[in-house]
Amino acid sequence: MGLIKEPEGVDFVIQSPPLTDKERIEISEFIRTRKLQNKSKVTATISKKRIRHSVLKKPNA
């Protein structure tokens, strides 16, 4: 596999403009809500596995 070289006259360096305070707050809120959604999904999955495992587990007689 060879190296990819930049063609002449083309620059692959990307410089994004700085975020405004409003954009920064919107992004922070979005990340916060996604983390809460993912946390609830993971917690539900873990509790289902625990219930299933405890039901399937045979008691020692």
Global model pTM greater than 0.85: no
Q: What is the pLDDT of residue 14?
A: 81
The rounded distance, in Å, linking the Cα atoms of 24 and 36 is 19
Chain segment 38-51, per-residue pLDDT in tens: 877 766 666 666 66
Chain segment 7-34, per-residue pLDDT in tens: 888 877 788 889 999 999 999 999 999 9
> Is 52 exposed, middle or buried (CB count within 10 Å of its CB: 0-12, 13-18, 19+)?
exposed
